[in-house]
Structure 1
Amino acid sequence: MRVSLSWLREYAAVPAEATPLEIDTALVGAGLETESVEDLRERVSGPLVVGRVVSVEELTEFKKPIRHCHVEVGEAEPRSIICGARNFAEGDLVVVALPGAVLPGGFAIASRKTYGRLSDGMICSARELGVSDEHDGIIVLPSDVEAAVGADARPVVGLDDVVFEVNVTPDRGYCFSVRGIARELAQSMNVDFRDPAALTVAAEATGEGPYPLRVEDTEACPRFALRAVTGVDPKAQSPLWMQRRLTHAGMRPISLAVDITNYLMLELGQPLHAFDRAALRGTLVVRRAHPGEKLTTLDDVQRVLDPEDIVIADDSGVTSLAGVMGGSTSEVADDTTEVLFEAANWEPVSIARTSRRHRLVSEAGKRFERGADPELCAVAATRAAELLVEYGGGVLDEHVADVDHRRPAEAVRLDAGLASRLAGLDYSVEETAGALRTVGCEVEVDGDVLVTTPPSWRPDLTDPADYAEEVIRVRGYDMLTGELPNATQGRGLTRGQRRRRSVGRSLAEAGYVETLCYPFVAPEVHDAFGLAADDVRRRVLRIANPIAATEPELRTSLLPPLLGALKRNIGRGHRDLALYEAGLVFLPKPGAEDLPVPELPVDRRPDDADLAKVAAVVPDQPRHVAVVLTGDFAPAGWWGAGRAADWTDAVAAADTVARAAGVELTVRQGEYAPWHPGRCAELLHDGRVIGHAGELHPEVCEALELPRRTCAMELDLDALPLPGIVRAPGVSIYPPFLIDVAVVTDAATPAAEVSRALSSGAGELLEAIELFDVYSGEQVGEGRKSLAYRLTLRAGDRTLTAEEAVAARDAAVVVAAERVGATLRSV
């Protein structure tokens, strides 16, 4: 909000010697951030005076209108000045920049001959002086202006002021007014404050109002006041001081009635609306909009209203979008003589939703959605009517409407030591109570407890922490020390956190790049993945307000967003990619969609029953880990040929995850979309399938526009048990015994199952097992294969003998025969 220093001085007794920098520092000390400080005295340098037009000569020999004027500027002789504007006449008071003056933009004024005449100065417009954007003509001062001819014109046009632009945070809406900022400035500088709201005494409501009124929704409109003025001079202009203040605030003067509403909104923080009373029909009704109703607002846009919108209507339809913007059917016009001022208080959430729903940002909406002071409705309406009578020559209607359904403010019990504990400073009970009274609170001291009631203009004070923050702010943020509080001793990372970090670090060390994807997917991805109609991954949660309408669902697998990232990188020119992500998937609980969404209490901690209702509808969110890879896994170079990524790399990534998690996985062939049926591995732990790895189906690659033979792996990380205490392995000083064994099995038997059987049979002496040969042919028979393993045996307390090694090998073959039907190969 932009506010001038002269306006602030009217209500805050700022010392005359205070500099703009000191005032800026005081505002910052009060917790108000100033975006800029503009000293208007620096806009124009040199002589700028009030002049009176003595004579005007029309020069008709030129293509455009040119006037040769003689202007009295307080010197012995009038100045000769050439001017192209035509909105002034002889005898008018104008603003004159004399030679030596420099206008905004570095425009220097000098005596020069033009159009065959001497121009010894310049008659200025508002735009040329930088006081507004008006450029239709030069500034014509009112005849009763309190400045002599030849006097400095800066005070007259407002160039003797300083304008502060204050950034108002959402929780301090009362500072969207001169009243609020002046109050904070006075408190910060420890000077007197004069409340502008106390300068007007609002009349009590009469039995009959100035216009028939009915408030149907008192929750959305707790207070509604009306005052009327008749016999207004429609040609009356706003006083110069009011125009000047509106201009400094960044508003353009429009008409007297509208300027009064804008002026009081800036001064008090209470938006008003001016109706042409003669244009209204029937009774004014405050209600919710009816479905299909339309309103053309003051910005000439026709809007289709929502049933949640609060409106003001009469018998002809909706006349105003309450708290946001008025309608064009009842606006004050150039011939309006009967003005009805409305000052209401609106429920902030409703106004905020209406503003966003219609994408309509207004000065009134900014204040109402932050919470306006309900005490000001009758005051603002009365003062608006009085100003219109004073400057518009009207007659004040004695009838007053004031529909008041406000609820009393609730008191909050506050531990007097809370601010001290939060700030690390020692505030006494008296200091705490005094600080709260400074901001307008009513405070009763009950031992170490303060019973506080917030002022009407502070709807943000609802909790003890809010009051503690006010105490700290009033006593001064600069008193806070830079010492950090002692941190409580933590327990370090949980086992789950350590496992997640280990998994991520292991994949990164294996060459994978971590990717963080949005958890949103498009419904079409399920078809692209080739999921069956009854696949559980098709049962998803839809988002009520998705970021992108094309992706309204929460993922049930990490692969769709991760493959999207892969495709995006390929589109950027990358060909060899290995990406991974560890994140949550969202699996709706059966029947949860039929349960109502529970509303948790905000005035107390939810109990077990409340939490159980939430748990019933919140989806399961297990943490998965997934990788995708394409292109060369090992690059080619001078050292030799590269190697393309294949399904074995995806399985190896699963093994990397398992080793980092401290578990072992069982791998077997499987069939699961979106993987290729012949190149898909099931990942099992403790007999349960927890993931899959392999090459994606060619049709999936085509549907997603991915390179052929793209590979992927995904497993449920939460399905793995958390690792316990890891014991350091023993290191034997004795030599290993290497012995080979070849067994014959069915061709369909996985080598991994044979390896596990041999390992189990070899017992504790087995240190390592390695498959080094696979053979199928006539020597082993049709439908059979030979698997040759190298066993590394070692004892921790002795050197093994050949007899012990052979016995371990034979025991391994026996177990393999029992589990997978393997026989020792003899040829």
Structure 2
Amino acid sequence: MQFPESWLRAYCNPPLTTQQIADTLTMGGMEVEELRPVAPPFTKVVVGEIKEAVQHPNADRLRACQVDVGQGALLNIVCGAPNARPGIRVPTALVGAVLPPGEDGQPFAIKLGKLRGVESQGMLCSARELKLSEDHAGLLELDASAAIGADIREVLQLDDHVFTLKLTPNLAHALSVYGVARELSALTGAPLKEPKFEPVQPVNDARLKVKVTAPDLCGRFSGRVIRNVDTQAKTPQWMVERLARCGQRSVTALVDISNYVMFEFGRPSHIFDFDKIHGALDVRWGRPGEQLKLLNGTTIAVDEKVGVIADEREVESLAGIMGGDATAVSDATKNVYVEAAFWWPEAVQGRSRRYNFSTDAGHRFERGVDPSRTVEHIEYITRLVQEICGGEAGPMDDQQVKLPERKPVQLRVARAAKVIGMPVTEAQCLDAFARLQLPASANAGVITVTPPPYRFDLAIEEDLIEEVTRIVGYSALPTTPPLAPITAKLPPENRRSRFAVRRLLAALGYQETINFSFVEAHWEQDLAGNTDPIKLLNPIASQMSVMRSSLVGSLLQALKFNLDRKAERVRVFELGRVFLRDASVQTTDTTVRGVRQPMKVAGLAYGDPDGLQWARKATHGDFYDMKGDVQALLSPLQAEFAAAQHPAMHPGRCAAVRVDGREVGFVGELHPRWRQKWELPHAPFVFELDLDAVAARRVPQFEPVPRFQPAERDIAVIVGEKVTHDQLLAAIRSADTGGLLRDAFLFDVYKPQQASAGLGLNEKSLAVRLTLARSDATLTDEQIETAVRAVVERVTTQLGGRLRG
């Protein structure tokens, strides 16, 4: 919300400086994001009228102008502007004037000089030279009523400031100059100038039949026909300047009037070309297949979720957002229809985003606009139209279909004091509501407030507490130390923090990425096998339409982004939430019914594991590099890996990761199909684990240093070729060794090229080192042999193996 200080002071003029007003508004909940002067400082620039402009004798593009600046004698000023002509009044910098700094940053002083042999006694100025705008196509033409010789700063009110407010969505009542003035009056106690809307007497019986068939779209619709309007009339300079300081450029007189009333009172309205409307208007929801060409030139398709204003032939306007091109006013327009309506906020919210644009009208209607003043504002618009463009007004048409019910809200004074954190009395609360023009009554410590029609943000007790706090003043709140001691909450030792997990992955050479939780629908189908993802009702982009159930797609996108920029080695990870359908989940403070939201940690590695180095040949890594990273991440927990299938992974190079018998994720190489689809030169390796499993860790237990030396025995067993390392070690650890086995380590694998004595082609020899020990005594040879024999017997019975040799 942007507006000039002078317009604000026209309604409420407290005895405060500009900066004090800004501070007051900010502390009142309306943050002043920017405060800037309308124009930079400059001196001795007055209104001058060009009396004569003749061709310069020595330059084709220059004119010698005789300018009246109210000093009696005319000044001779050489000017090169294309619009320099007799009869116009323009800013004139006299000799000795100091203009705003130019591109070199230095102030520009006007001196008496000669241009191509002709003396110049000043300078005629453009808007850009005075730093009023970027327009430098010609001289800044002033209103013909501007007094000759008057200071240009007074004529254009340049000693003014522009406020830019950063308003929260609940402050719809402050989206106008009058609304801000009303708040400023309440905050400072300065009187508020109430506007008067004198009714315009109709002089004809011209009417437009309007039918409101969607009361859930439009609660009130008011309108009036005005005949014989001069649409080519010029917008007054005072209105152009006020609009410009609100960030709105002048278009035509009728459009400017509509915009002016919107900025002044927060009332968006629309003016139709009455003669272009076919029959009656119907305010309704759109229908599938209908189209509308908007004022901005785009053609959109509407449906039953979008409100429209239609005539008997076609859709003419997008309800509460933008008018249509077919009924737009033009220079040929003679008769207009002025409309002001109350659109339900729920019926306007989100509609602009569907078409990728936003309007000032939609911004206000989706937050709530006063439904009680539609007729008064049309009267005001009518009077402005007649003053500027002429015209003959018809009778007012006002249909009240369904207005919002303003339910009373109660405030307990004792609770207000508790929430605010300082004592407040019933009288203070009533005074605050009176200053805010909120009807209130008190009974036994309970104040009942009936919100006025323009306050859509007062619905619960906390809203009223906030209003009391704003008026009492946040600066008046006491600084109270906490009553209870503050003690740090120590995390349990058996869990890592998320920060610790991030540091560990960074130490392994990975870099963290942060991605959106909504992804492309085909990622879910391809990479997670999820045929029924959770869809977004209103995605911010068409390619981000579903909630992710896996982090893999986000990491692949980060990889593709880096490879497109010639990265040779990429190692990235993400800690993030995924979203899965789960009917058992109920709605709580942290959950949503039907949706489970676990945290996951995922990593991706591409390229040489160690980067470029001289001592080894560059490789692209393999499954075991990524497996090692997963083991390091889970350590000291012992992870188990079992062959598995995953939609995103290579069918023969993927393993499920298990901890304590529970599956916690997977690790593997990307499927060749997806490598080809993503156009990756080589397949990356990916893991994804439950964050809870990664965060868990065992607390170290004290054990004394063994007093007795362990014994080591090496055995070589012959097993079938399909027997895995994990199967072998599982069989060895399950052997009954009387608790002597401390460790088993595979150190050699032998596969014959051809069948040999004792070893077939479909067999292999696995050499394992066994570590045996007791904590209370030295092992005897008999105990060692018995333990080794138990291991061999278990391998034989469980895996069909035999001792080699």
Q: TM-score range by the shorter chain?
A: 0.7 to 0.9
Whether 2:574 is the aligned partner of 1:562: answer no
Tell me which residue corresponds to 2:94. Answer: 98
Partner-residue secondary structure (3-state), 1:757? helix
Tell me which residue corresponds to 1:139. Answer: 141
Tell me which residue corresponds to 2:71. Answer: 75
Tell me which residue corresponds to 2:726. Answer: 752
Whether 2:405 is the aligned partner of 1:408: answer yes
For the Cα contact (< 8 Å) 2:718–2:803, is it kept in 1? no
Partner Cα distance (2:316, 2:645) in 1: 66
Q: 1:32 aligns with which of 30, 33, 49?
A: 30
Query: Taking structure 1 as reference, are residues 339 and 36 closer, same or farther at Cα in structure 2, changes over 3 Å only?
Result: same
Q: Please give the residue correspondences for 1:446-457 in structure 2 after superposition, counting only pairs within 5 Å.
A: 446-457=443-454
Q: 1:767 aligns with which of 725, 731, 742?
A: 742
Q: 2:788 aligns with which of 794, 809, 814?
A: 809
Partner Cα distance (2:696, 2:232) in 1: 85
Q: 2:472 aligns with which of 453, 465, 475?
A: 475
For the Cα contact (< 8 Å) 1:683–1:693, is it kept in 2? yes
Partner-residue secondary structure (3-state), 1:181? helix
Query: Taking structure 1 as reference, are residues 685 and 383 closer, same or farther at Cα in structure 2, changes over 3 Å only?
Result: closer
Write out per-residue CA displacement over residues 548-603 of structure 1, whole angstroms, 9 at most, x where no aligned residue.
655756555544443454455455555455555555555556xx8xx9xx9x9xxx
Partner Cα distance (1:642, 1:350) in 2: 62
For the Cα contact (< 8 Å) 2:517–2:548, is it kept in 1? yes
Write out per-residue CA displacement over residues 157-210 of structure 1, whole angstroms, 9 at most, x where no aligned residue.
3334333333334332322211012122233333111232xx225689999884
For the Cα contact (< 8 Å) 1:740–1:791, is it kept in 2? yes
Tell me which residue corresponds to 1:792. Answer: 771
Q: 2:282 aligns with which of 282, 285, 293?
A: 285
Query: Taking structure 1 as reference, are residues 352 and 765 closer, same or farther at Cα in structure 2, changes over 3 Å only?
Result: same
Tell me which residue corresponds to 2:172. Answer: 173
Aligned-pair CA distance for 1:12? 0.7
Aligned-pair CA distance for 1:406? 0.9
Partner Cα distance (2:381, 2:648) in 1: 71
Greater displacement, 353-362 / 776-785: 776-785
Tell me which residue corresponds to 1:385. Answer: 382
Partner Cα distance (2:452, 2:19) in 1: 30
For the Cα contact (< 8 Å) 2:129–2:136, is it kept in 1? no
For the Cα contact (< 8 Å) 2:203–2:394, is it kept in 1? no
Partner Cα distance (1:8, 1:741) in 2: 93
Partner Cα distance (1:335, 1:636) in 2: 74
Aligned-pair CA distance for 1:764? 2.6
Q: Please give the residue correspondences for 1:523-534 in structure 2 after superposition, counting only pairs within 5 Å.
A: none
Query: Taking structure 1 as reference, are residues 479 and 548 closer, same or farther at Cα in structure 2, changes over 3 Å only?
Result: same
For the Cα contact (< 8 Å) 2:229–2:334, is it kept in 1? yes
AA matched with 1:165: T
Whether 2:20 is the aligned partner of 1:22: answer yes
AA matched with 1:3: F
Aligned-pair CA distance for 1:255? 4.6
Q: 1:357 aligns with which of 340, 354, 370?
A: 354
Gaps of 5+ in 2: none
Partner-residue secondary structure (3-state), 1:223? strand
Write out per-residue CA displacement over residues 135-158 of structure 1, whole angstroms, 9 at most, x where no aligned residue.
666635445x6x5x5443433333
Whether 2:799 is the aligned partner of 1:820: answer yes
Q: 1:271 aligns with which of 268, 275, 282?
A: 268
Query: Taking structure 1 as reference, are residues 236 and 515 closer, same or farther at Cα in structure 2, changes over 3 Å only?
Result: closer
AA matched with 2:26: V
For the Cα contact (< 8 Å) 2:270–2:340, is it kept in 1? yes
Tell me which residue corresponds to 1:532. Answer: none
Tell me which residue corresponds to 1:120. Answer: 121
Whether 2:44 is the aligned partner of 1:46: answer yes
Greater displacement, 333-342 / 467-476: 333-342
For the Cα contact (< 8 Å) 1:238–1:256, is it kept in 2? yes
Query: Taking structure 1 as reference, are residues 507 and 453 closer, same or farther at Cα in structure 2, changes over 3 Å only?
Result: same
Greater displacement, 643-652 / 266-275: 643-652
Q: 1:343 aligns with which of 332, 335, 340?
A: 340
Query: Taking structure 1 as reference, are residues 494 and 375 closer, same or farther at Cα in structure 2, changes over 3 Å only?
Result: farther
Query: Taking structure 1 as reference, are residues 802 and 553 closer, same or farther at Cα in structure 2, changes over 3 Å only?
Result: same
Tell me which residue corresponds to 1:731. Answer: 704
CA RMSD of aligned residues (A): 4.5
Tell me which residue corresponds to 2:162. Answer: 163
Tell me which residue corresponds to 1:308. Answer: 305
Partner Cα distance (1:475, 1:222) in 2: 36
Aligned-pair CA distance for 1:404? 5.2
Query: Taking structure 1 as reference, are residues 433 and 306 closer, same or farther at Cα in structure 2, changes over 3 Å only?
Result: same
Aligned-pair CA distance for 1:380? 0.9
Write out per-residue CA displacement over residues 498-557 of structure 1, whole angstroms, 9 at most, x where no aligned residue.
48677666555555555555566667669988xxxxx95566555555566557565555
TM-score relative to the length of structure 1: 0.80
Query: Taking structure 1 as reference, are residues 293 and 56 closer, same or farther at Cα in structure 2, changes over 3 Å only?
Result: same
Q: Please give the residue correspondences for 1:686-701 in structure 2 after superposition, counting only pairs within 5 Å.
A: 692-693=666-667, 701=675
Partner-residue secondary structure (3-state), 1:98? strand
Partner Cα distance (2:278, 2:480) in 1: 66
Query: Taking structure 1 as reference, are residues 429 and 66 closer, same or farther at Cα in structure 2, changes over 3 Å only?
Result: same
Q: Please give the residue correspondences for 1:468-617 in structure 2 after superposition, counting only pairs within 5 Å.
A: 468-480=465-477, 493=491, 498=496, 507-518=505-516, 540-541=533-534, 549=542, 557-570=550-563, 572-575=565-568, 578-581=571-574, 583=576, 588=581, 614-615=593-594
Query: Taking structure 1 as reference, are residues 525 and 12 closer, same or farther at Cα in structure 2, changes over 3 Å only?
Result: closer
Tell me which residue corresponds to 1:192. Answer: 191
For the Cα contact (< 8 Å) 1:47–1:99, is it kept in 2? no
Count of aligned pairs between the two proteins: 790
TM-score relative to the length of structure 2: 0.82
For the Cα contact (< 8 Å) 2:204–2:392, is it kept in 1? no
For the Cα contact (< 8 Å) 2:46–2:91, is it kept in 1? yes
Partner-residue secondary structure (3-state), 1:767? strand
Partner Cα distance (2:708, 2:132) in 1: 95
Write out per-residue CA displacement over residues 647-698 of structure 1, whole angstroms, 9 at most, x where no aligned residue.
33344344445544x4x44445567666566655554566676655455666
Partner Cα distance (2:120, 2:655) in 1: 93
For the Cα contact (< 8 Å) 1:732–1:795, is it kept in 2? no
Partner Cα distance (1:386, 1:727) in 2: 85
Greater displacement, 411-420 / 110-119: 110-119
Aligned-pair CA distance for 1:821? 4.1
AA matched with 1:749: V
Greater displacement, 580-589 / 286-295: 580-589
Whether 2:664 is the aligned partner of 1:649: answer no
Partner Cα distance (2:251, 2:21) in 1: 31
Partner-residue secondary structure (3-state), 2:95? coil
Aligned-pair CA distance for 1:264? 1.9
Query: Taking structure 1 as reference, are residues 86 and 169 closer, same or farther at Cα in structure 2, changes over 3 Å only?
Result: same
AA matched with 2:460: D
AA matched with 1:434: D
Partner Cα distance (1:336, 1:706) in 2: 61
Partner-residue secondary structure (3-state), 1:226? strand
Aligned-pair CA distance for 1:484? 7.4
For the Cα contact (< 8 Å) 1:737–1:805, is it kept in 2? no
For the Cα contact (< 8 Å) 1:217–1:288, is it kept in 2? yes
For the Cα contact (< 8 Å) 2:287–2:304, is it kept in 1? yes
For the Cα contact (< 8 Å) 1:324–1:360, is it kept in 2? no
Aligned-pair CA distance for 1:123? 5.4
Write out per-residue CA displacement over residues 717-776 of structure 1, whole angstroms, 9 at most, x where no aligned residue.
66x699697461522441123141525342243343333333332243332222334456
For the Cα contact (< 8 Å) 2:70–2:149, is it kept in 1? yes
Tell me which residue corresponds to 2:214. Answer: 217
Write out per-residue CA displacement over residues 610-660 of structure 1, whole angstroms, 9 at most, x where no aligned residue.
97xx32xx3x55555554445444568677778873333344344445544
Query: Taking structure 1 as reference, are residues 421 and 235 closer, same or farther at Cα in structure 2, changes over 3 Å only?
Result: same
For the Cα contact (< 8 Å) 1:665–1:685, is it kept in 2? yes
